Amino acid sequence: MKAQGSIVRWDAARGFGFIRSASSSADVFFHIRDMRRGASFTPQEGVKVMFDVIHVGGKGPRAVAVHLPGDASPARSRSPRSRPTRSAPIEISGLLLLLAVAYAAAIGWAVWSRLIPWWTLAVAVLVNLATFFAYWQDKHAAEIGRWRTPEATLHLWSLAGGWPLAHVAQQVLRHKSSKQEFLAVYWTCVVLHLAAVGAALWLAAHGFRLSPE
């Protein structure tokens, strides 16, 4: 159903807001991804917009194909759940892929050389899976307007070693992948983690064992 209203709330940091419309008894939720392709404006409170109203999963009304009145851009009104995740390719950076391969090789060598305990590999896998879940949970919370995971928490997971799947989550979920301030801190966490691991393995290789013989 097509409708018209005014943006009454917009959270630029989280990328979502609400539209008040005479055609709906409740304010209509929308996400930055719900903007119509080619829309030529930045969401702000007080701006009048046109949109299509949908209902997803029994939740309240949601606006899609949000655009300015008179915008001639072709409408895209599909439900967010019907959008294929492969509509945009996963863009794993070459640098991160190289670092991840070198990191995995270094950890594998250290385990094989008995410089670190074998369960380190299991911990690394679990930390990465937990990191991906944290990103997914934050993405889901942003879409439904619930309490978000603090960015500091996401960075701590990367610092703890979950940085490879953090990058995958950014690309697969299209979450935090274009926020430059966030990415700058993320890459700082990557560098700090690699530096700490590199220093620990260097010490272990020179006689300071991280695990008992």
Domain regions of the chain by residue span: 2-82, 86-205
Between 120 and 86, the more confident residue is 120
CB 45 within 8 A of CB 18: no
DSSP bridge partners of 70: none
Tell me phi and psi for residue 196, to 5 degrees.
-65, -45
Exposure string for 146-160, b = 16+ CB within 10 A, e = fewer = eebbebeebbebbbb
Q: Which of 60, 14, 9 is nearest to 33 (CA)?
A: 14
Pairing of strands 2-11, 61-67: unpaired
Fold for the domain defined by 2-82: OB fold (Dihydrolipoamide Acetyltransferase, E2P) (2.40.50)
Task: Tally Cβ neighbours within 10 Å of residue 85.
Answer: 9
3-class secondary-structure state, position 35: strand
pTM reported for the whole predicted model: 0.54
| Helical segments of the chain, H only | 94-112, 119-144, 151-157, 163-172, 180-205
pLDDT value of position 148: 84
pLDDT interval class at 91 (50, 70, 90): low
- Residue 166 has a pLDDT of 92
Higher pLDDT pick, 77 / 19:
19
30, 8 Cβ separation under 8 angstroms: no
* N residues, the chain: 213
pLDDT number for residue 86: 45
Place of tokens 């942003």: 142
